[in-house]
Structure 1
Amino acid sequence: MGHAAADSGHNLDCDIAILGGGLAGGLIALAVHRARPDIRLRLIDADSVLGGNHIWSFFEGDVDAAGMALIEPLITHRWDNYEVRFPAHSRTLQMAYHSIRSDQFDSVLRETLPGDAIQTGVRVASASDDHVVLEDGREIAANAVIDCRGAGDLDTLDSGWQKFVGLELELTAPHSLSRPIIMDATVDQIDGYRFVYSLPFGPQRIFVEDTYYSDEPELDAETIEQRVLDYAKAQGWDVASIVHREKGVLPVVCNGAFGEYWRSTGAVPKAGVRAGLFHPVTGYSLPEAVRSALFIADHADLPGEPLHGRLFARAAQGWRDASFYRMLDAMMFYGADTANRYKILERFYRLKPALIARFYAGRSRATDKLRILSGKPPIPIRRGMGAILKNQRRKSGRK
């Protein structure tokens, strides 16, 4: 694209235009503004609020000290430890866990960024690496454009699905939980690997989410919402009201064509899920969104075309580095019977806490990978090897 304007800033409407005010886009805006308050930002989102309608949670080990410094003002709930429950194994892990609510996210962004930096309720018609056209006909010239507007073409990826429905409940009496239950897999195993996730927000306030690692992305929200209420009743919690609803479907990637995925949304610098930056096993994107925001803040002067090259190279390396996790996904979806998938996680949660922490952070060491695969496997060896071979054939395009 033409970058002559980069040498004459007065011809630009802004230095960086960020498309999408969700987690990835908002964190980029915060990181750039904190590091370079002289950079003129535009954060553009089609919704009336930033961050949508979400509760994002993460383990403290998911991000480094610089990352924690960036997201510290966003954190709304904190716990010192968390719990997991499986049919044959329960455990409390001494690892801090945090949650961020989208209303706090919106509030901090509006308080921190200059007033003219945020444009909500605005839809994008088209974008290049240095130019944005809005649906109302307005145009924005920028030194660089960064697109964070959600997933690209998921048909380019070979995925299972993590799908969920969550309800924040106000109870008539205290629930007595002192820590999150990250996985309660003692529930009936329906539609793949199923577990319930509970976050105690207050003595009588709790967020309960019913989650499935499923072969298909279809989400029957009404049915799953009733399962959440049934779970609450089984715990002895009497529900006074539902104060918040959340649902989603996340790809759990076994394989795919990363270059095609990236190109499916055009030759524009990208971040977040649009750049393929999410954990292959969990589907969560917060740790990588934090790292990407700090990376972009360090390269905030780059024009759109070279920034695109840097971000693509970084995302492509991340894709290569994540091959181990995609292999595990393939073993789960192609190698394990749906009713027995929970055994893979049950076995995983018997491992050392530091290994578990590195896994969720996407930073597993070679020794971690060997430990995860060693010992008595939760699925038959022949079936596991068949799953890996099937995944390799998919990777090479052979049936």
Structure 2
Amino acid sequence: MGAPSIDIAILGGGLSGGLIALAFAARRPDLRIAVFEQGERYGGDHVWSFFESDIEDGGELLEPLIAARWPGYEVRFPGRRRHLTTPYRSITSERLDTRLREALPAASLLTGARITEVSAQSVTLADGRTFQAGAVIDARGASGLPHMVGGWQKFLGQMLRLSQPHGLDKPIVMDATVRQFDGYRFVYALPFSAHDIFLEDTYYADSPALDRSALRQRIADYAAREGWQVERVEYEEAGVLPVIAAGDFDAFWHAAAPDGTGRAGARAGLVHPLTSYSLPIALRFALHLCTLDKLSAEAVGRACHAWAREHWRGGRFYRMLTRMLFGAAAPDQRYKVLERFYGLPEPLIERFYAGRSNHTDMLRVLAGKPPVPVGRALASIMGQGRPLAPLGDRT
């Protein structure tokens, strides 16, 4: 085998793969990077959001991707309405695609690339081309997580153009005053301009089944409830994300990557176990990869496994809360868990979303009478609550 034509092959140009590519381009410009994306543009059609408090390093990589920013946000529940002051930001796939094309040479960006075979040091495409690489990082997402159980966060969102201003000056991150269907349901609203708003209907559900037509109608119903007249739908996105309650990390890792390739994003289990939130984790991981002294296939694969294993270890508290949410609460009563959570101090909420809850935070979250039946809560913590879904099964 001759010398590799590229140093790092990144499979998948979504959020995780895109951030890895941008981090290498900025901090290791000497490396030859290639990003393989099956679609025609990087990122697809997505909006990703984050709290300013999530980011400790690497904010300069996100800055060109930000499409909107707000000084705070709002949550709404049947028994609670609260305005919080943590700055909130949204980035879009359009900006991710533009930034990747600015930061990397055209030869490094392969769209419409359908991958048929992968090894730790090579990528083969459907058109017959094979690329040799020093290391391969697979960031193509995961349709399921084998050897793990939990529930699903599923959503459908639409960017709407309104005929009259909507009147919002900040996002509604959770509006759970809507009728509860199929588990914990809330609407998410991002006001991108006076006439443009992104509405997403989201569910914490036991099944991954996604009824797109029903969700479209519920978005239309919500807009009508708020008195908003929709001129047109600019674009639509939908997804089903795992919410992790328990599992066997080592079995998961070896089942999904027996060939020793590096892995990132959901394919490596790098999501917040309860919120399915991934942006701050993806950024931290991308920056970590840039610090590696050795970038051989073996070294990258080992580094990905070690980082993901540590992330799994650090997620025990959040997985316990997931078990309580799915295993102890009746589907139409799950909103009470989040309603209570949003009565806690704002710094605690910030650390929770960033995945940096300290021991005092954990005690505060668990203190007092739980918003679910005590017996069910204890049973779920012990793994004896309602049966949870196998996350490797999307059927």
Normalised by the shorter chain, which TM-score bucket?
Answer: over 0.9
- 2:202 aligned with 1:208: no
Letter in 2 for 1:268: T
Pick aligned residue for 2:81 from 90, 98, 115: 90
Deviation at 1:376, TM superposition (A): 1.8
Letter in 1 for 2:155: F
Q: Is this contact kept in 2: 1:153–1:261, CA < 8 A?
A: no
In 1, the alpha carbon distance for the partners of 2:312 and 2:130 equals 34
- Could you say which residue in structure 1 is the equivalent of 2:31? 39
Deviation at 1:263, TM superposition (A): 2.1
Residues 76-115 of structure 1 aligned to structure 2 (within 5 Å): 76-115=67-106
TM-score for the superposition, normalised by structure 2: 0.95
- Could you say which residue in structure 2 is the equivalent of 1:74? 65
- 2:106 aligned with 1:124: no
Q: Is this contact kept in 2: 1:327–1:391, CA < 8 A?
A: no
- Could you say which residue in structure 1 is the equivalent of 2:20? 28
Deviation at 1:340, TM superposition (A): 1.1
Deviation at 1:159, TM superposition (A): 1.8
Pick aligned residue for 2:233 from 230, 239, 242: 242
SS in 2 for 1:254: strand
SS in 2 for 1:274: helix
In 2, the alpha carbon distance for the partners of 1:14 and 1:184 equals 47
Q: Give the fraction of aligned pairs with identical amino acids, expressed as a percent.
A: 50
Pick aligned residue for 2:134 from 143, 148, 152: 143
Deviation at 1:337, TM superposition (A): 1.1
Instruction: Please list every run of at least 4 consecutive aligned residues from structure 1 whose deviation after the TM superposition is greater than 4 angstroms.
Output: 391-395
Q: Where in structure 2 are there 5+ consecutive unaligned residues?
A: 391-395
Letter in 2 for 1:151: A
Q: Is this contact kept in 2: 1:86–1:346, CA < 8 A?
A: yes
Deviation at 1:152, TM superposition (A): 6.1
Deviation at 1:394, TM superposition (A): 8.7
Q: Is this contact kept in 2: 1:152–1:265, CA < 8 A?
A: no
- Could you say which residue in structure 2 is the equivalent of 1:332? 325
- Could you say which residue in structure 1 is the equivalent of 2:250? 259
Q: Is this contact kept in 2: 1:196–1:209, CA < 8 A?
A: yes
In 2, the alpha carbon distance for the partners of 1:318 and 1:393 equals 26
Q: Is this contact kept in 1: 2:151–2:245, CA < 8 A?
A: yes
Q: Is this contact kept in 1: 2:326–2:386, CA < 8 A?
A: no
Deviation at 1:153, TM superposition (A): 4.4
Q: CA RMSD in A?
A: 1.7
Q: Is this contact kept in 2: 1:153–1:264, CA < 8 A?
A: no
Q: Is this contact kept in 1: 2:161–2:197, CA < 8 A?
A: yes
Pick aligned residue for 1:18 from 10, 13, 19: 10
Letter in 1 for 2:90: S
- Could you say which residue in structure 2 is the equivalent of 1:160? 151
Range that drifts further, 353-362 or 250-259: 250-259
Range that drifts further, 203-212 or 382-391: 382-391
Deviation at 1:265, TM superposition (A): 2.9
SS in 2 for 1:390: coil
In 2, the alpha carbon distance for the partners of 1:77 and 1:258 equals 36
SS in 1 for 2:383: helix
Deviation at 1:276, TM superposition (A): 0.5
> How many residue pairs are counted as aligned between the two chains?
387
Deviation at 1:392, TM superposition (A): 9.5
The structure richer in helix per residue is 1
Deviation at 1:390, TM superposition (A): 2.1
Deviation at 1:391, TM superposition (A): 5.5
In 2, the alpha carbon distance for the partners of 1:219 and 1:108 equals 32
SS in 2 for 1:170: strand
Per the alignment, do residues 183 and 313 of structure 1 end up closer, same or farther by CA in structure 2, a change over 3 Å counting? same
Deviation at 1:235, TM superposition (A): 0.3
- Could you say which residue in structure 2 is the equivalent of 1:188? 179
Residues 300-339 of structure 1 aligned to structure 2 (within 5 Å): 301-339=294-332
Deviation at 1:264, TM superposition (A): 2.9
TM-score for the superposition, normalised by structure 1: 0.94
